Amino acid sequence: MIRLQDPYHDRIHSGGTVKNTVRTQMSQSVNLTPQLLQSIRLLQLTAPQLEMELLQALERNPMLEADEGDEAGETDAEGVDAAGDDAALEAAAWDELPEPAFTSSSSGGMGADDDGMARIAAGSSSDPRVRLLQELAVTWREADLVLAQWWLDRCDDRGYLEHPLDELLAEGADACGCDKREMDVIRLRLLNGPWPGMAAADPGECLQAQLAQLPDTPERALAARILSDYLALLASHDHAALAKALGSTADDTAAAVALVTSLRPCAVEEPVDAPSAYIVPDVVVRFLGGEWRVALNGRSAPRIRISAHCESALAQAPGDQSVLRGLLDEARWLVRGVAMRNDTLMRTAQVLVERQREFLVRGEEAIAPLTLREVADAIGMHESTVSRITTGKYIQTPRGTFELKRLFAVRLEGAEVSGAAVKAMVKRLIDNEPPHAPLADDTIAGMLERQGVRIARRTVAKYRDQLSIGPARARQRPARKAAA
């Protein structure tokens, strides 16, 4: 869209003369139709939210009725495909929207007072990166948000960087077209932002960032010294030696230690709305007849359809029936939108199960590297669509019930395995170590190398910290004496 500005709005006064200027400005906008907004909204709804949405629609729209035809409570792939054929043909390409288009209140298709986030289902995303970006979008510039998103994509679920800082700075500067200093400034803003410690390189940096936001007291100064210089003494719980090293009294040291232990081990905050006491799976996976079979959980939400007798009566009704016809159109949009959501969820779940069959059989150590882009390419949709349909959706498997996002895993740099798999290997080795002779980080790295997984000692230490496991010296226990 080319917008021609009012020439009288830009006047330049120079020497008593008035010079009119004409400027052209290019801007891109996306017109969000009601159908498009509804499709996006339905895509993001969790199972309980969808159930509430459909129950409310049944109450307020007489053109809808509950479909009680499926007694089994599950819908396989063929049923979803048949239900979604018409919806797929008539639906807009909502999966090709850029991610911020429906979350920004300045989108071209909305009024100045129309908040795009109000059209999304209430509740917080289960992905902490999404929640933080939504919070930052209120005050941060769009260009800075792009760099912030890049950093958050390189953080694990606890908010720690998944690779060494120097490597990420070089990679980010190249990927985002800026210098390392600008990338580091954005990371430091995240580190000291509303979630202090986010994008921290290690637990010490995370705790220091949290500590810096507390009131300036003598206890805080001592706590900062403990974090920077005496973590080993803190881990050993030797408060007397810690007080001596700090040159402080026992009471002051105890207060500083209490301040440190009150800090969160990671930066990620839980959603404001507490999760339900139970989880309703959206997808059910079973191993039957020698293969993994995927089905939608029909019991997670009521099935709806257009009321045939109401539609027939409306077609024969005389006079102006614009209100009822509007309700019929709304009902059709909703039925099609739900069919599209179910079709997308089914196809995404099938790809995830197919790619992670070894994980379902063998467990966490067999989880394969898998990205949003790979799944999006497999189902012919945009990455943002896959992100929305897997957020807050749960899959029930013989290995347990968990969020679909757990089936994604970042590839370990320079290897054919995922970081999650290697973390599980590290945990297994530590769980099986002799209590009197715990394994050092470099020993674990050597054992993994003999299994074909080459990682650095610092990577083992990072995974150990993420598992809340102390170093070898903190895990050592005296050997039991043989019974007399």
- pLDDT for 76: 57
Q: Please tell me the predicted confidence (pLDDT) of residue 353.
A: 93
For residue 44, give the amino acid letter.
Q
pLDDT value for 415: 65
Residue 433 domain-assigned (yes or no): yes
Tokens representing residue 434 in the block:
């002799």
Cα gap 147→356, rounded to integer Å = 31
> What tens digit of pLDDT does each residue of 203-231 get?
888 988 998 888 888 888 888 888 888 87
pLDDT surpasses 70 at 102: no
Question: Quick one: which of 173, 204, 207 has its CA closest to 187?
Answer: 173
* H or E segment to which residue 347 belongs: helix 322-355
Length of the chain: 484
Tell me what pLDDT residue 343 has: 92
Q: Please tell me the predicted confidence (pLDDT) of residue 475.
A: 83
Percent of the chain with pLDDT over 90: 11
Whether residue 257 sits in one domain with residue 284: no
Burial per residue of 163-199, b for 16 or more beta-carbon CB atoms within 10 angstroms, e otherwise: beeeebbeebbeebebeeebbbebbebbbbbebbbbb
High-pLDDT (> 70) share of the chain, %: 76
pTM of the model: 0.53
Centroid of chain to Cα 183: 22
Residue 96: its pLDDT value, please? 42
Q: What is the DSSP letter of 474?
A: H
Query: Quick one: 215 and 243 in the same domain?
Result: yes
Contact 345, 393 (CB under 8 A): yes
Look at residue 151 in the predicted model and tell me its pLDDT.
92
How far apart are alpha carbons 437 and 441 in whole angstroms?
13
Q: Is the pLDDT of residue 355 over 70?
A: yes
Specify whether the CB–CB gap between 441 and 464 falls below 8 A: yes
* Residue 134 host element (H or E): helix 128-136
Q: Please determine, for residue 31, whether its predicted confidence score (pLDDT) is greater than 80.
A: no
Q: Which of 109, 286, 270, 267 is nearest to 192 (CA)?
A: 267
pLDDT of amino acid 53 = 85
Residue 118 above 50 pLDDT?
A: no
pLDDT at 34 exceeding the cut of 70 = no
* Same domain membership, residue 254 and residue 338: no
- pLDDT for residue 158: 83
Mean pLDDT of 185-202: 91
Query: Would you state the structure tokens that stand for residue 467, as one six-digit string?
Result: 């598992």
Asked whether 10 and 21 are in contact (CB, 8 A), the reply is yes
Please say if the pLDDT value at position 90 is more than 50: no
Most confident region among 242-251, 323-332, 450-459 by mean pLDDT: 242-251
Q: Report how many domains make up the chain.
A: 3
Contact 126, 403 (CB under 8 A): yes
Structure tokens at 436: 């009197």
Cβ 191 vs Cβ 209: under 8 Å: yes
Q: What is the dihedral of CA 383, 387, 388, 392, to 10 degrees?
A: 170
Helices (H), 192-321: 203-212, 218-229, 231-235, 239-246, 250-261, 308-316
Asked if 284 and 399 sit in the same domain, the reply is yes
Map tokens 């941060």 to a residue. 140
Of 357, 300, 377, 303, nearest to 79 (Cα)?
A: 303
Residue 452 and residue 382 share a domain: no
H helix or E strand, kind and range, residue 39 = helix 34-44
Please check whether residues 288 and 400 belong to one and the same domain.
yes
Domain range enclosing 75 = 33-86+280-309+323-409
pLDDT for position 186: 93
3-state secondary structure of 33: coil
Q: Are residues 365 and 330 in the same domain?
A: yes
| Whether the predicted pLDDT of 470 surpasses 70 | yes
Strands 74-75 and 283-288: unpaired
Residue 193 has pLDDT above 60, yes or no: yes
Same domain, 405 and 423: no
In DSSP terms, which residues pair with 401 in a beta bridge?
A: 396
CA dist., res. 84 & res. 94, Å (int): 15
Q: Give me the amino acid identity at 460.
A: V
Q: What is the pLDDT of residues 393-402, one digit of tens each?
A: 899 998 888 8
Across 61-70, 236-245, 412-421, the highest mean pLDDT is recorded for 236-245
Q: CA 407 to CA 417: how far, in whole Å?
A: 14
> Which range scores top for mean pLDDT: 128-132, 303-307, 356-360, 448-452?
356-360
- Residue type for 393, please? K
- Measured over the CA atoms of residue 112, residue 116, residue 122 and residue 124, the dihedral's sign is negative
98: left (phi over 0), alpha (psi -120 to 50) or beta: beta
Q: Is residue 130 part of a domain?
A: no
How much is the average pLDDT of 141-153? 89
CATH number at residue 444: 1.10.10.60
Measuring CA to CA, how many Å separate 80 from each of 41, 289, 421? 19, 21, 33
For residue 351, what pLDDT is reported?
94
The domain boundary, picked from 409, 439, 467, lies at 409
Q: 291 and 397: one domain?
A: yes
Q: Write down the pLDDT at residue 454.
A: 83
pLDDT at res. 269: 65
43 and 73 share a domain?
Answer: yes
Helix (H, G, I), strand (E, B) or coil at 11: strand
- Does the residue 248 lie in any domain? yes
What is the chain's mean pLDDT, rounded? 77
Classify residue 442: in a domain, yes or no.
yes
Quickly tell me which residue has 């509430």 as its tokens: 52
Mean pLDDT within 414-422: 76
Lowest mean pLDDT among 66-70, 93-97, 469-473: 93-97
Do 237 and 335 lie in one domain? The reply is: no
Q: Report pLDDT digits (tens) over 267-322.
A: 886 554 444 557 888 999 998 888 899 998 877 677 888 888 787 777 777 767 77
339, part of any domain: yes
pLDDT reported for residue 345: 92
